[in-house]
């Protein structure tokens, strides 16, 4: 038998299993992503029965994260957000900074070192782009259009702010044993390369617009190559490099077309990413880290959901403040990457890391269900409840 037949068969079986798990989840009123996470737990080495090849699954999941964050970077359009909901420009970055600061201080008091505490605090501050997109497109959604726009815009600005903070924290963390100065030089050099690519890539894509296959190949290859170069040459984490690469070309007219063509690949690999997250939930480590899990969940509610709600009301966003806050109340893909970076550098223990992974799974499940029941009337410009109560 061909040596590659087994791995190919396993990928096919896992994807079919994800279809079944996602379908079952939706039938019982849960989002499909909960089914994907549950499948990961079932095929993990920590539960009886079939065990998936985690290395192979992790590689595919890493591809998914890179394409996902490259596409999210492309999606960030600050000018559009500013014209549609100006309050977001201030509220989302303030929330990311406040949540990081509050969570970081609490985690510092709980025993983490300053930089790891800030890094995990930033993880708590950021939401899941995939989950938020699913919330705004779900057939069971109760959101109205302004709230959906606010969810998408807030998430995009969260990620943009998070990248800047993460770059500093990862440099301070000294991943890979690299001195702070060397890490900073590597980041600046990568930014210079990215800006150069941002000048050239739209021209190339413009020339290939009629060549659908070549346009797609260049779009995918650019995201993967930028992320790979950023990590291998400049020491920038893969996901962070991918997001910066997408952000650099976001203002070009070709960016929207590149994003549209990347979506099927992103969605496919995102499924494998959530299955991979499920395989990391180790029951014995989770039992030892239950205290951390409880603390992470409390911080998500107190330092994130409550802060989003307060800022949404203070800036008079034309959205439903409670629904917006609950919709953003999960820990997501970028947060998972930051946690992985911290545990790989030995900055946090495996028990703490497993607790963070469990917080990703639980917060996604809870926010995607509770957001349906959190609808309230949006605010008028002077902060009073409006008359519009319709949903999409």
Across the range 261-267, mean pLDDT stands at 74
Contact, 122 vs 169, CB < 8 A? yes
Higher pLDDT, 260 or 120: 120
- Of the candidates 242, 230, 248, the one whose C-alpha atom is nearest the C-alpha of residue 186 is 230
Phi, psi of 62 (to 5 degrees): -60, -40
pLDDT tens figures, 332-379: 878 888 888 888 888 899 999 999 989 988 998 899 889 988 865 444
Read off the pLDDT of each residue in 289-312 and give the average, rounded to a whole number: 96
Do the beta carbons of residue 211 and residue 197 sit within 8 Å?
no
pLDDT for residue 382 is more than 60 = no
Q: What is the pLDDT of residues 109-165, one digit of tens each?
A: 999 999 999 999 999 999 988 788 888 887 778 888 889 888 988 988 888 888 888
pLDDT at 83 over 90: no
Nearest to 7 by CA among 59, 77, 47, 80: 59
Burial of 195 (0-12, 13-18, 19+ CB in 10 A): exposed
Query: For 184, phi and psi rounded to 5 degrees?
Result: -65, -40
Token pair in block for residue 297 = 């969940």
pTM to 2 decimals? Answer: 0.81
- pLDDT tens-digit readout, 48-68: 777 777 777 777 777 777 777
More confident residue, 27 or 52: 27
> What pLDDT is attached to residue 2?
61
pLDDT above 90 as % of the chain: 26
Q: Does domain 5-373 have CATH number 1.20.1250.20?
A: no
First to last CA, the chain: 52
Name the β-bridge partners of 379.
385
Question: 84 pLDDT exceeds 60?
Answer: no
């Amino acid at each position: 038998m061909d040596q590659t037949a087994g791995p190919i068969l396993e990928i096919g079986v896992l994807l079919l299993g994800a279809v079944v798990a996602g379908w079952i989840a939706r039938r019982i009123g849960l989002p499909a992503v909960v089914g994907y996470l549950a499948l990961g737990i079932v095929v993990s080495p920590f539960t009886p029965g079939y065990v998936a090849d985690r290395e192979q699954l992790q590689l595919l999941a890493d591809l998914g994260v890179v394409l996902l964050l490259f596409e999210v970077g492309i999606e960030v359009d600050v000018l559009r957000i500013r014209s549609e909901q100006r309050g977001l420009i201030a509220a989302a970055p303030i929330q990311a900074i406040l949540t990081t600061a509050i969570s970081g201080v609490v985690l510092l008091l709980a025993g983490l070192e300053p930089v790891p505490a800030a890094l995990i605090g930033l993880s708590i501050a950021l939401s899941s782009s995939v989950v938020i997109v699913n919330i705004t497109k779900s057939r069971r959604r109760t959101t109205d259009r302004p709230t959906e726009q606010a969810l998408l815009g807030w998430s995009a600005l969260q990620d943009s702010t998070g990248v800047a903070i993460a770059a500093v924290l990862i440099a301070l963390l000294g991943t890979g044993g690299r001195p702070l100065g060397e890490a900073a030089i590597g980041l600046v050099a990568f930014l210079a390369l990215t800006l150069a690519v941002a000048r050239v890539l739209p021209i190339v894509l413009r020339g290939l617009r009629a060549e659908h296959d070549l346009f797609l190949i260049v779009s995918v290859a650019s995201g993967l190559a930028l992320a790979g170069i950023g990590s291998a040459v400049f020491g920038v984490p893969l996901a962070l490099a991918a997001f910066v690469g997408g952000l650099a070309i976001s203002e070009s007219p070709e960016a929207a077309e590149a994003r549209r063509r990347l979506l099927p690949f992103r969605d496919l690999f995102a499924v494998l990413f959530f299955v991979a997250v499920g395989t990391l939930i180790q029951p014995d480590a989770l039992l030892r880290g239950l205290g951390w899990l409880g603390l992470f969940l409390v911080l998500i509610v107190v330092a994130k959901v409550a802060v989003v709600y307060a800022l949404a009301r203070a800036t008079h966003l034309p959205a439903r403040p409670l629904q917006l806050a609950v919709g953003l109340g999960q820990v997501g893909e970028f947060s998972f990457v930051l946690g992985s970076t911290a545990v790989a550098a030995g900055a946090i223990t495996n028990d703490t890391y497993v607790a963070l992974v469990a917080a990703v799974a639980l917060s996604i499940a809870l926010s995607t269900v509770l957001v349906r029941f959190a609808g309230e009337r949006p605010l008028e410009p002077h902060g009073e409840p409006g008359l519009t109560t319709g949903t999409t």
